Structure 1
């Protein structure tokens, strides 16, 4: 296990994706709003998603230079997407949101974790 990511590029790619995801959640675009509705995520909490996702992007970028921060942020993203997948399963939302979006992001986060921090 490394204290800093090596290689760095998977972490940068994940940070960019997290940043774009946060932008899309500022005023949720229709497919994100539908996803939140489909899993029963209360509208009163939608405002929390952009700061969480911006913080993830910032933690990943800062983690390039700050030991363990990138690792902790990547692990937190893995947990986040495990929770997201469980919400889709609980809501019986077995469509694109589960299999493409949430599962795809989980695979990307796990791959980044393994490749950049645990290899």
Structure 2
């Protein structure tokens, strides 16, 4: 069975970043708005991204105590950003927001998974 992440602080960092992203999305700054408009996500649906990111942060924090939860949540976060990357590609919105926000978060999520469980 997969245990808790080691070192724990990488998972906590990812959780904090996702929590911060969710809080920023309550009143999205221009770069988040450009990103969501660029992939043509209707504004009526923006709230669901906040819920997803908050649930991911909660799952990652819970996983610091409960075995397997952080691993499962981290894999789900990677899946989320893979889907977001595909949405960018499909909408042909491959500007700076894609490279920094989307792929940056995907790289962080993958790095946390690898260094927390493969070491």
Q: Is this contact kept in 1: 2:11–2:112, CA < 8 A?
A: yes
Q: Which runs of 4+ in 1 moved over 6 A?
A: none
Which TM-score applies when normalising by structure 1?
A: 0.94
1:82 equivalent to 2:92? Answer no
Q: Is this contact kept in 1: 2:35–2:98, CA < 8 A?
A: no
In 2, the alpha carbon distance for the partners of 1:66 and 1:117 equals: 15
Q: How does 1:33-52 map to 2 (within 5 A)?
A: 33-52=33-52
Counterpart of 1:63 in structure 2 is: 63
Specify every segment of 5 or more residues in structure 1 that has no aligned partner in the other structure, as ranges. none
Count of aligned residue pairs for this structure pair: 119
Counterpart of 2:111 in structure 1 is: 111
Counterpart of 2:17 in structure 1 is: 17
Q: 1:94: Cα distance to partner?
A: 1.3
Q: 1:118: Cα distance to partner?
A: 2.9
Q: 1:55: Cα distance to partner?
A: 0.8
Counterpart of 1:53 in structure 2 is: 53
Specify every segment of 5 or more residues in structure 2 that has no aligned partner in the other structure, as ranges. none
Cα RMSD (Å): 1.2
In 2, the alpha carbon distance for the partners of 1:59 and 1:7 equals: 17
In 2, the alpha carbon distance for the partners of 1:15 and 1:94 equals: 26
